[in-house]
Amino acid sequence: MTATVTATDRRTSLLAMLALLALTACWGSTFFLIKDLLDRVPTLDFLAVRFAIAGVALVLAAPRALGRLSPATRKHTLVLGALYGVAQILQTAGLAHTAASVSGFVTGMYVVCTPLLAAAILHTRITAITWAAVLLATVGLGVLTLSGFSVGYGEAITLVAAVLYALHIVGLGAWSTPADAVGMTTLQVIVIAVICLVATVPDGIVLPATAGDWASLGYMALVVGAMGLLAQTWAQAHLPPTRTAIIMSMEPVFASLFAIWLGGEHVTMRLVVGGLMVLTAMLVVELVPRRHVEGEVPHIAV
């Protein structure tokens, strides 16, 4: 019986890892689309419409999922949605005051913040091999994205966004359960949409004007937004936060690959070296025995 449970746990853990990898690949694919779409639609307007569509789709797909959430789970999910929504706005505001490459690197600091917060909040024991993987992923992100760096207002508020993303990862790891994944995802998306709508309504909402732009927005709302957050919520019911953060650090690697494939960019030594470093960090936490990576994260009740 123990061997069967262990094998089942390993299969579930592998599926969770693959779900997160698929999510980061989808995130990476959106850089190419967003870069083009934001030339015509303001960023906050795009975020508000994107998450509003995702929220409506989730409610229509599973109308009873919200009702099955316990009061405590609803409270936790409201906090998670608020963290993610505010982080989205701060990251967007920071991008207006810093280079996109620097923004990508600073946002990626959630890889460092996640184990620190997991240790402080959940009392998770972070091992030396995990810290080595975190350091390797961070350096790899720097090699991939940075050509120069200075600290100013844009970098500061982007770092706050990274901390909020890390708190979101830690919170999902502590509070999410497979049974509540759909309901938690739906409520998170609704909260994110409301926050973004409140932020952009005073200036009016600009909608896409062409069928192609609506198609891009639909993909980012339904596939990347609704299904992506659902995949993350379900996966984090089976994976500890630090392991999740390191897997998700593959996002800029996928973004670079899609830029080469769809955007005509060239393969560079920085892409190869940085990408291999991030990939190695992910493989380290996946291949070593789990007890040597990070202690099991308890689901906490607050």
Band of pLDDT at residue 98, cut at 50, 70 and 90:
confident
Mean pLDDT, residues 186-195 taken together = 96
Q: How far apart are CA 281 and CA 158, in angstroms?
A: 24
What pLDDT, on a 0 to 100 scale, did the predictor assign at position 150? 61
pLDDT digits (tens, 9 = 90+) for 227-278: 999 999 999 999 989 889 988 888 878 877 877 777 666 777 877 888 888 8
Q: How far apart are CA 38 and CA 89, in angstroms?
A: 15
290 or 128, higher pLDDT: 128
Is residue 298 over pLDDT 60? Answer: no
What pLDDT, on a 0 to 100 scale, did the predictor assign at position 76? 97
Q: How far apart are CA 249 and CA 27, in angstroms?
A: 11
Q: How far apart are CA 54 and CA 57, in angstroms?
A: 5
Q: How far apart are CA 278 and CA 270, in angstroms?
A: 12
Question: Which pTM does this prediction carry?
Answer: 0.84
Both ends of the chain: CA-CA distance in Å? 33
Is residue 202 over pLDDT 80? Answer: yes
What pLDDT, on a 0 to 100 scale, did the predictor assign at position 67? 94
Give residue 107's Cα distance to chain centre.
Answer: 10
What pLDDT, on a 0 to 100 scale, did the predictor assign at position 269? 83
What pLDDT, on a 0 to 100 scale, did the predictor assign at position 124? 82
Mean pLDDT, residues 77-104 taken together = 84
Band of pLDDT at residue 59, cut at 50, 70 and 90:
very high
Is residue 200 over pLDDT 60? Answer: yes
